[in-house]
Amino acid sequence: MRNKLTLIALPLLLLNMGVLTAQEGGGEDTPFDPQIRTNQRAMGDQTFAITMGLYFPLFTVLTNDWPEYGYEAGTYKTKLSMGGTGGLAYSFYVSERIKVGLQVAGSFAKDINGNFAYTIPIDVKGSYEFHPWNRITIPLHLAVGIAMTSWKQDNFYVDPIIRPGFGVYFDWNFEWSFGMDTTWWFIPQIGVDDKSQRSIGNFMDLTLTAEYHF
């Protein structure tokens, strides 16, 4: 009888010790512990995002008269049609609400003659996040970098680019967020050979984003 009680008590004792050990170890934070709730960010957290959406050429500001083309300095409607855009971004949190990172995007649009214009921005992006509800994040972001633009075969320019914008994201779970962003593309086109033909391009995008947190 005593041997039977020992066989029953020993597994129960070992099980109880295992539970206590797990509880003690679970309270320690390590860099590889998953988040315990949605919408929880901390310094050192990282994200990887992929975006895809629509690209809207808006208008161009001529900074000088173009007499050979019959244009005066001013604002003119673009001759590009609506196109598409997509991109990749890596970011890390420097605080609970601020993250910075690097992003690479690309866009395409067609002119009135059927020629495609391609733009590839590479920029540094900073975001400040608001958390009005448990699963909702509203980031305000600003990206600064360079834009490489190709049009036809003999036109290639490298210009600065500034992209302010905002978004609305929903935390699907601890790791994935899905949302929508809108961004203004402000491109001072100073890479042209003729300084008198420099201009300022204005574009906008509307994209869907999937963001992975780790």
| Within a domain: 21 | no
**What CATH number is associated with residue 66?**
2.40.160.20
Can you give the pLDDT at residue 202? 94
| Within a domain: 183 | yes
Can you give the pLDDT at residue 22? 39
Can you give the pLDDT at residue 31? 43
- Helix ranges (H only) for the chain are 2-26
Range of the domain at 63: 46-213
Can you give the pLDDT at residue 13? 42
| Within a domain: 159 | yes
**Residue 127: partners with Cβ closer than 8 Å, 6 or more residues away:** 91, 98, 99, 100, 139, 140, 141, 142
| Within a domain: 144 | yes
| Within a domain: 100 | yes
Count the domains in the chain: 1
Can you give the pLDDT at residue 44? 84
| Within a domain: 3 | no
Q: Which residues of the chain have pLDDT under 70?
A: 1-39, 69, 191-196
* Whole-model pTM over 0.85: no
What is residue 142's three-state secondary structure?
A: strand
Can you give the pLDDT at residue 38? 60
| Within a domain: 7 | no
**Residue 141: partners with Cβ closer than 8 Å, 6 or more residues away:** 125, 126, 127, 128, 164, 165, 166, 167, 181, 183
| Within a domain: 191 | yes
